[in-house]
Structure formats: C-alpha cells, structure tokens
Amino acid sequence: MSPKDYLLALCQCPKLGPSRLKRLRDFFDTWENIWKASVPQLQQAKLENPIISELISLRKEFNIENFKKTLVEKNIRTISVDEINYPSLLKQIYLPPPLLYYQGSLDFFKQPTIAVVGTRQPSYYGKQVANSIVRELTKLGFIIISGLAVGIDGIAHTTTLNAQGNTIAVLGSGLNCIYPSQNKLLAKDIIKYGCLISEFSPDTPPHKSNFPRRNRIIAGLAQATLVIEASKKSGALITAHYALQENRDVMAIPGNIFSPLSQGTNDLIKQGASLITDISDIISILRMEHIFKKNITKQ
C-alpha cells in the first residue's frame, strides 16, 4: 500500500475527521504508522476507545484494492493534502480535509474563485440578483463555487453553466449520494464543466452534521464569499463565518428591511461585510481592477 492508500483506508472510519487525523499524524508521523498502530499505541495517542474499536474492525474487513476499483468504476478520483494538485486556497485553512473525493477537473482551482451562497427559498429579488451577478462574474472568468442546494446555490451553478462558465459544487454527502436528488442532472452537468467535490466517502448519506463541514470547504476553496439572500438562521451565514475565520473577504447583497430573507445579509453588512450593489464592487474589494478594468459592466 502507498502512503495515500493508508490515508484512504483511514478515511473509511467515519469518526476520524480532520482534527483527529491531524492529531494522530502528528503523533505517529505517517498514515501507515497510524493504520498499523497497536491498541496501546492508539490509546497513548489519546484516541478514544470506541473509535479504536471501529478502526481495529475496519482493518480486519477493509480491502483497499476493491475499494479503489469501485472508485474507478464510478469515475471518482481522490487527492490528498500532501499532493501538489490539492487546491492551494483550501490547503491554507485551519485543518484542511486530508483527503478529497472529486469528479471533474481540479484545473479550475487555478482560476479566480468566488463562493456564491444564500437561502434555499429565495425571493424574486434574490433570484434576479443571483442571475445577474453570477452571469457577470462568469463573463469575467470567475469560477463559481457553491453547495448544490436548492435555491441560491442551484441558481449560481445553473446560471454559470448557462453562461458557458465553470462551476464547482461541494457536497455534504458522498459523491454516490447526490443531495438533493432533484439536482442529480445538474450535478452531471457540473462534472462536465467543472468539479463535484466532497470530503466524505462516496456512499456517505447527507447527514445534517455534514453541512457545516461542507460550508467550511466552500469558504476555504474561494477567494471570497458572496451571500445573496439569507435569513438569520441560514446555513449561508455559516459559510460566511468560516470565510471570516480564514481572513477571506465576505460580501453581501443588501435586501428589503421588512423581509426575513434579508435579515441575515443585512446583519452581515452591519458586522462589516462589504456591501455589494454591482460587479465593480466585487472587483474593487478583490483588488483586481488592473485585470478586469476593460471588461467590467455596471448592473
């Protein structure tokens, strides 16, 4: 087994997330040493006993060659944090996912990226803004990143593809469990003209606890996060929070003060997020005027 094979095997233990894997690697130095460690050694590394039991069971049952064969059959590829093509912006965040599964191309991460997120139930205003802003960003060559959810996420992906651009969708499930199911056709189109990406093993269902982790990756992959429409409890605000933690730019579209769907975005602006009314605001905040000066159009 290669070093990456040992990591791939370890990642099939659901309780071994980025934090525990980092702690174990710091202790054992290599993925192979973690995989082969004895129970006393794992206890010495302060791994909890129930997780040790899961890992020991996994080691007895897991067949790496069979697993890799199923990945090939599903056209799923993997990239580890140790490899050169791992997305550079994501590598910079606190606790980057040690392993990513993806379909499509990672080459798009070499271009300017912006996350576009928002409510699952946008108003007409939110839809109008999303279509307009995303279309203009796509024309300028930005790669649009979002979470494949219904609402603003889906509009961001679809508008990008309709404008013949490239988009990246980060999943809160495994790549074999597209969620929501109504976006399966959209996911197939994204694979052709962008990338589907997940830190979860391919058959992982969309557990509620997965989505904050997905939002962390969305923010980590992007130079900036744009929130178009969001209520006070919207998951889009979690993405904005992660972006702020990583010192990435957070931008928000102002909305109707009487609309619950604007409370989250308006609060972000009060807290210091950049107010966006047209594409030139985004280019200015990202300090890219020298690149796009001739191509910026007012909304």
45-65 pLDDT, tens digit per residue, is 999 999 999 999 999 999 999
Looking at residue 290, its pLDDT comes to 75
- Residue 298 above 50 pLDDT? no
194-198, strands of its sheet edge to edge: 77-80, 99-104, 194-198, 167-170, 143-146, 113-117, 224-227, 249-252, 274-275
The mean pLDDT value for 132-151 works out to 97
Q: Look at strands 77-80 and 99-104 and give their pairing.
A: antiparallel
| Paired tokens of 214 | 């997905």
Question: How high is the mean pLDDT of the chain?
Answer: 95
pLDDT tens sequence across 267-292: 999 999 999 999 999 999 999 887 77
Q: What percent of the chain has pLDDT over 70?
A: 97
pLDDT tens digit sequence for 75-87: 999 999 999 999 9
Cis geometry, peptide bond prior to residue 112 (ω within 30 degrees of 0): no
Q: What is the pLDDT of residue 297?
A: 47
pLDDT given for residue 299 in this prediction = 40
pLDDT of residue 50: 96
- Predicted local distance difference test score (pLDDT) of residue 291: 74
| Model pLDDT for residues 36-48, shown as the tens digit of each residue | 999 999 999 999 9
List the end-to-end C-alpha distance of the chain, in Å, as a whole number: 54
